[in-house]
Amino acid sequence: MAEVDGPIQWEASFGEALERSKTEKMPVMVFFHRDNCSGCAKLEALTYPDPTVAATIKKYFVPVKVNIREDIKLTQRYQAFWTPGIGILAGDGTLVYRNEGWLPPPEFAVTLLLARGYYLYRTKRQGQAAFAFSDLVTTYPTSPFAPEAQYMLGVCAYLDGSPEEQEAAFRLLIQWYPDSLWTAKARGI
C-alpha cells in the first residue's frame, strides 16, 4: 500500500514499487536517504513539495524511499553510499540513471525529465527517448542538462537508423552549446 507524504504518493516497499513499475511500464524513482542528512531534508522540505516536481514524479515515475542505513542489501546492490541519491530503475531492477546530491526544484524537475529519457533509451525505446530528450531541450534550453539531452537525442537518432538526424542533432549541439563537454564528445564521433 502506498504512503502519501505531501503531494507524492510513495510506494510502501521496494518490492511493491518494482511490481507497479512492471504493471504500469513506468520507471521506479528510488530516493536513497538516511537520518541526519541535510540534503535529504531539503529534498523533502523544498524540492518534493514543488508542484512541478510532484507532477513530474506522479506522471512518469513510481516513487519509493530507501533508507541506506536500514536496507543494507539495496544500498550495496545500487552502491547508494551518498545521500541524497536518486536512482531510476527499470521494472526488472536495472539501474538506468543516477543522481547524487540535493538540487533545487527547477533543476530537480529537469533532472527527472533527463532520467526519463535515459529510462526510455535504456529500455530500447529510442523513438520515445528521442522525444523526451527533445522536449527537455525545447522546454529548458538554458538548463545545464540540455547539452546532455541534445547529445542523447543524436545517439537515439543513430540507433534508430538515421545517421542524418544524428548529424543534425550534433550540429545543433555544437551550435547551441559550443563549450559543453557533450559537444566535445560529439566532435569526437
pLDDT tens-place values along the chain, 189 residues long: 455 556 899 999 999 999 999 999 999 999 999 999 999 999 999 999 999 999 999 999 999 999 999 999 999 999 999 999 999 999 999 999 999 999 999 999 999 999 999 999 999 999 999 999 999 999 999 999 999 999 999 999 999 889 999 999 999 999 999 999 999 999 886
> pTM of the predicted model, to two decimals?
0.92
CA distances from 112 to 14, 42, 52, 61, 134 (A): 19, 17, 11, 9, 14
Confidence (pLDDT) at 5: 59
Q: What is the pLDDT of residue 3?
A: 56
Rounded to the nearest angstrom, the gap between the alpha carbon of residue 141 and the centroid of all alpha carbons in its chain is 17
CA separation for the pair 45, 50 (Å, rounded): 9
**Domain 124-189 sits in CATH 1.25.40.10:** yes
Locate CATH 1.25.40.10 in the chain: 124-189
Which pLDDT belongs to residue 175? 97
pLDDT at 38: 96
Question: Tell me, what's the pLDDT at 7?
Answer: 86
Position 144 scores a pLDDT of 95
CATH 3.40.30.10 maps onto the chain at 1-123
Instruction: Please give the torsion angle defined by the CA atoms of residues 137, 63, 86 and 102, in that order, rounded to the nearest 10 degrees.
Output: 80
Q: Which CATH superfamily is domain 1-123 in?
A: Glutaredoxin (3.40.30.10)
Q: What is the pLDDT of residue 188?
A: 83
